[in-house]
Amino acid sequence: MNIQRRLISDLSKWSAQADRKPLLIRGARQVGKSWAVAEWCRKESKKLVTINFEESPQFSKLFEKDLSIQRIVNELSLLFTVSFSDPRTVLFLDEIQKAPQAITALRYFYEHRPDIVVLAAGSLIEFILEEQGLPVGRIQSLYAHPLSFVEFLGALGKNTLADAVNSFDVETSPAFPDLVHHELLNDLKLYYKLGGMPKVVSTFLAHNDIRAAAIEETTLVRGYRDDFRRFAAKVDWALLETVFEKMGFLAGGPPIKFTTIDSQARSAQVRRALLALERAMLIHKIRPTSAVGLPLGANAVDKAFKLAFLDIGLLHNLIGFDWAHLSPDADLTDVADGRLAEQFVAQEIICARSTNDTYGLHTWHRSHPGSEAEVDFVVERGNHVVPIEVKSHEKGRLRSLHLFQKELRCPTGYVLSQRNVLRSDGLVFLPLYLASRL
């Protein structure tokens, strides 16, 4: 699968740093962490030495005796017949959550052998880090996500379109030609169905068969469910299953409360279950904020919140949405009551902004008696708070957005819809596929 992923260029930038620290790639299972490392090494002619602690648990013993980096390096050199003094050699510790001592060893690589190019990745690693922490200032993190829409276009071989989206300036670029606009909307419809999970996309590209891709989606969803028992030490896995099952109804929907998810469970139990899914990076909480200043999280609350899922294709699978009953020219902002559009925007914002840290999503909710108002997303942009609405309606129906602009003295509001680019009276209308440009 020929996919140009930003993660690969991020690895190149990390490797070239003068004060390079060991790298920990974090992200949900099956988002392409290991593939990206192998592809980066292939492109840059690196000598990749991979230790997968899940496939080869015996390697954990290397780190259990002690954390003498010189001893560990000497043994690895003998086992793999390589020299770690060679700058082209890369040590990759995969599924490192299976060897917690190896996580601790990363700091000693930095302190005693900073010349060695070493990186690690793992699934559900956040739960190990919760118990033992991460050495401050000794390890760098990089977050991996499903393919963005631009990466998806590249996978389809539409690099010219991908470049056009990537280079679009929301303030000055003109509208796309109608034919280009409609082609991008058709590609976005396909992305709605497939999403950005690498295995799903590669299956579709290999067979040109949506049904084969759907089988891969179902397999991934089942795999995530099977992982729940790994959380059981601290979280009720049955409650996790319940929360996960309801994602098809909750993600991309209106604000909810803990009791909405399970009225029989205590709020504290539901909170822990949601936190576990957040740490596994399967869901993202969208917290309401007053948006009166930066950072947005300083004025955010948890009383009612919205949810986004890991991937729009997997959400499409959970919903069981049948495109056969939808008009071919249906507005993509209205599909599944608008939930897929909101999921897409949330996913694009996260992918665009969460590289070295996770970006918290926020919405704006104003609750005054007789005057409820809500803006779908608010983000920081250029040291300002920027409101984003996801709507199919014309600008006359944007009461909440106008109210936000008036109350918070915000000169520009953004509307993501199916229409082409239009700038008018303090509003910028952008096609959905440009969500990442915000």
pLDDT tens-place string over residues 40-49: 999 999 999 9
Regarding whether 39 and 179 lie in a shared domain, the answer is: no
Asked whether residue 356 is assigned to any structural domain, the reply reads yes
Band (pLDDT 50/70/90 cuts) for residue 26 is: very high
Distance CA 342, CA 179 (A): 25
Helix (H) or strand (E) holding 418: none
Band (pLDDT 50/70/90 cuts) for residue 39 is: very high
Q: Which of 127-131, 176-180, 265-269 has the lowest mean pLDDT?
A: 127-131
Regarding whether 192 and 332 lie in a shared domain, the answer is: yes
Structure token pair of residue 305: 């919140």
118 beta partners = 91
25 beta partners = 121, 142
What pLDDT was estimated at residue 83? Answer: 96
Q: In 3D, which of 308, 295, 288, 298 has the Cα closest to residue 372?
A: 288
Tally Cβ neighbours within 10 Å of residue 279. 17
Assess contact for 365 and 257: CB atoms under 8 A.
no
Asked whether residue 266 is assigned to any structural domain, the reply reads yes
The percentage of the chain sitting over the pLDDT mark of 70, rounded to a whole number, equals 97
Domain span at residue 260 reads: 149-437
Asked whether residue 1 is assigned to any structural domain, the reply reads no
Q: Which of 159-168, 196-205, 321-330 has the lowest mean pLDDT?
A: 321-330
Distance CA 402, CA 400 (A): 5
pLDDT digits (tens, 9 = 90+) for 390-408: 987 554 579 999 999 999 9
Tell me, what CATH number does 38's domain have?
Answer: 3.40.50.300
Q: Which of 50-64, 126-140, 244-258, 415-429 has the lowest mean pLDDT?
A: 126-140
Regarding whether 243 and 204 lie in a shared domain, the answer is: yes
Look at the chain and report how many structural domains it folds into: 2
The percentage of the chain sitting over the pLDDT mark of 90, rounded to a whole number, equals 71
Q: Quick one: CA torsion of 272, 219, 40, 127, rounded to 10 degrees?
A: 20
Assess contact for 238 and 245: CB atoms under 8 A.
no
DSSP helix, strand, coil percent of the chain (3-state; round to 5): 50, 20, 35
Task: List, in sequence order, the alpha helices (H) in 208-311.
Answer: 210-227, 237-245, 247-250, 258-261, 267-279
Q: Could you give the angle at which helices 178-194 and 312-319 cross, rounded to 10 degrees?
A: 60
For residue 288, cis peptide bond before it (omega within 30 degrees of 0):
no
If you average pLDDT over every residue of the chain, what do you get? 91
Regarding whether 346 and 301 lie in a shared domain, the answer is: yes
Distance CA 342, CA 307 (A): 10
Higher pLDDT, 296 or 302: 296
- Checking if the pLDDT of 230 tops 80, the result is no
Regarding whether 269 and 121 lie in a shared domain, the answer is: no
Distance CA 409, CA 403 (A): 9
Assess contact for 290 and 297: CB atoms under 8 A.
no
State which amino acid sits at residue 101.
Answer: Q
What pLDDT was estimated at residue 396? Answer: 52
Structure token pair of residue 436: 């990442």
Regarding whether 216 and 107 lie in a shared domain, the answer is: no
Question: Domain ends where: 143, 173, 197?
Answer: 143
Spell out a b/e string for 284-293, using b for 16 or more CB atoms within 10 Å of the CB, else e. bbbbbbbbee
DSSP classification of residue 297 = G
What pLDDT was estimated at residue 214? Answer: 94
The number of residues in the chain equals 438
Question: Domain ends where: 125, 143, 161?
Answer: 143
Distance CA 52, CA 265 (A): 38
DSSP-derived pairing of the beta strands 23-26 and 117-121: parallel
What pLDDT was estimated at residue 386? Answer: 94
In the block, residue with structure tokens 């699978």: 317
Distance CA 363, CA 340 (A): 17
Taking CA atoms, 36 is separated from 22, 301, 394, in Å, by 16, 36, 42
Distance CA 311, CA 149 (A): 11
Distance CA 211, CA 201 (A): 12
What pLDDT was estimated at residue 7? Answer: 95
Regarding whether 159 and 33 lie in a shared domain, the answer is: no
DSSP-derived pairing of the beta strands 371-375 and 361-368: antiparallel
Asked whether residue 215 is assigned to any structural domain, the reply reads yes
Regarding whether 356 and 287 lie in a shared domain, the answer is: yes
392 burial level (CB within 10 Å; 0-12, 13-18, 19+)? middle
Asked whether residue 336 is assigned to any structural domain, the reply reads yes
DSSP string, 267-278: HHHHHHHHHHHH
Q: In 3D, which of 134, 172, 124, 118 has the Cα closest to residue 26?
A: 124
pLDDT digits (tens, 9 = 90+) for 366-384: 877 667 889 999 999 888 8
Structure token pair of residue 291: 């948006």
Regarding whether 407 and 302 lie in a shared domain, the answer is: yes
Helix (H) or strand (E) holding 141: strand 140-143
Regarding whether 361 and 266 lie in a shared domain, the answer is: yes
Asked whether residue 308 is assigned to any structural domain, the reply reads yes
Band (pLDDT 50/70/90 cuts) for residue 206 is: very high
The reported pTM is: 0.94
Regarding whether 200 and 128 lie in a shared domain, the answer is: no
Regarding whether 293 and 160 lie in a shared domain, the answer is: yes
Structure token pair of residue 334: 């209205």
Distance CA 10, CA 14 (A): 6
Question: Domain ends where: 93, 122, 143?
Answer: 143
